[in-house]
Amino acid sequence: MSADISSRPGSAGPPLWRQLQVAAQAVQAVRQGASTTTALADIAGELRPGVQSLVFHALRQLGRAEALRARLAKRPPPPPADALLCTALALCWNEALAPYEPFTLVNQAVEAAKRQRATLPQAAFINACLRRFLRERQELLAATDADPVARWNHPAWWIRQLQKDHPEHWAAILEANNDSAPLVLRVNARKAGVPQVLKMFTEAGIAAHRIGEHAIRLDRARPVPQLPGFAEGLVSVQDAGAQLAAPLLLQHLDAPAPGQRWRILDACAAPGGKTAHLLELCEADLTALDVDPARCERIHQNLQRLDLQAGVLTADAAAPERWWDGQLFDAILLDAPCTASGIVRRHPDVRWLRRPGDLAQLATVQERLLTSMWPLLRPGGVLLYCTCSVFRIEGEQRVSAFVAHNTEAFLLPGPGHLLPTRAGKAAAVPENLPSDHDGYFYARIRKQSMAHAPQ
């Protein structure tokens, strides 16, 4: 456990009390409905790394922190003070995981309260609650252990949904969600091989190992722009589970006619990771679609770094009459909007931002997109439907309903629900990859023609 060198006078970097102030403000913003991306967007460069680490840690432990605060205070203080108190509790309740000594975190949280107008009136209250927690830690932890939200650090509805969808593996999924995610890279097959990149990393003193056909997992996260080969387009950041999409889509495609290339549509394509992977693996006329102009710009930037080309359109995939030229596609990748319940370890705010009603609302969006994309696929073509969700209503149930109502739709073999798995915990949940990955759902649907009708 690290000592609080950052809060000592004359030490390099911003003091811990200042980092706690800004982290608490970000936690408060998430509680009010903002994403961490938005909450952290305007933080100055020097503060950003430390604050982001504190925020992510706090959000992974927020359920326990709120349960402890409920034991320490009859009613919550005003939102800024409550966010600071809960942030401090989230960071220090588990000594084994605490980024600083608990006494240091308490001292610096009280200092943070004293040094800003919004929390100064509650500084003595925050001090009293945190000191009491240090004195009565074991009793308070025991009293909150029976609370599922405190035990698993997820909303109660989320826990119930996982218990329903994955009765044998729900606990392992929640435990994986509370881990931090590794840095995983995809090697650009057009420019390099995995052994070449691993050798380059070894020579640079970077420990990494292979976990998939094109996937490399770094033993320790590093600033991505500083990685060897990144600027030259040799590697990109992409989870090992997400790297299944491109090979799955291409695997069952018929070879194009002589002199022709596949026509592929990547709907909901931003930020372009799957688009790029497809182009790294095949020669194709690829259209990448996204409704958000800013996100389309990210597709352009990613493709430019990798020396790849695609037609990028800013348009709504659910309204093809506004952008489709009438030519059928050989393959469609539909990475549909979803709850993001499979990537919670990378985005710990998601669990606190989602509401139970989001499941049905997003399922309606997914159904509409499937229905809109299907007429654009040629007979014999393949549509890959995927979501970064572990909820069955966004995966298995959505595809089963679609296939049941479309006589031309034939379900090909595929991974189905890919549950989040931690390195060293492979036995905890069934998995489709040999190592660490997020949660996804994949289904391949072929549009039947006479040549492809099932026997």
Measured between alpha carbons, how far is 434 from 421 in angstroms, rounded to an integer? 9
Residue 141 CB contacts under 8 Å (≥ 6 apart), including other chains: 68, 93
Which residue carries 């930037």 as its tokens?
A: 301
Measured between alpha carbons, how far is 159 from 41 in angstroms, rounded to an integer? 30
**Residues 31/352, Cβ–Cβ less than 8 Å:** yes
Which of 383, 377, 420 lies closest to 398 in space, CA to CA? 383
Task: Name the catalytic one among 129, 296, 386, 388.
Answer: 388
**Residues 132/72, Cβ–Cβ less than 8 Å:** yes
Measured between alpha carbons, how far is 229 from 197 in angstroms, rounded to an integer? 8
State which H helix or E strand residue 332 sits in.
Answer: strand 329-335
Which of 145, 139, 80, 87 lies closest to 115 in space, CA to CA? 80
**Residues 166/419, Cβ–Cβ less than 8 Å:** yes
Q: What is the DSSP string of 155-204?
A: -HHHHHHHHHH-TTTHHHHHHHHTSPPP-EEEE-TTT--HHHHHHHHHHT
**Among this protein's residues, is 388 annotated catalytic?**
yes
Distance of CA 177 to the CA centre of its chain: 10
Phi and psi of 368, rounded to 5°? -65, -40
Please state, in angstroms and as integers, the Cα–Cα distance from residue 99 to each residue in 1, 3, 20, 132, 378, following that order: 7, 9, 12, 20, 54
**Residues 288/313, Cβ–Cβ less than 8 Å:** yes
Helices 137-144 and 123-135: angle between axes, nearest 10 degrees: 90
Measured between alpha carbons, how far is 17 from 100 in angstroms, rounded to an integer? 12
Measured between alpha carbons, how far is 60 from 53 in angstroms, rounded to an integer? 11
Whether omega for the bond prior to residue 413 falls within 30 degrees of 0, making it cis, is no
Residue 366 CB contacts under 8 Å (≥ 6 apart), including other chains: 336, 337, 338, 387, 394, 398
Cα angle 341-146-343, degrees, rounded to a multiple of 5: 10
Give catalytic residue positions: 388
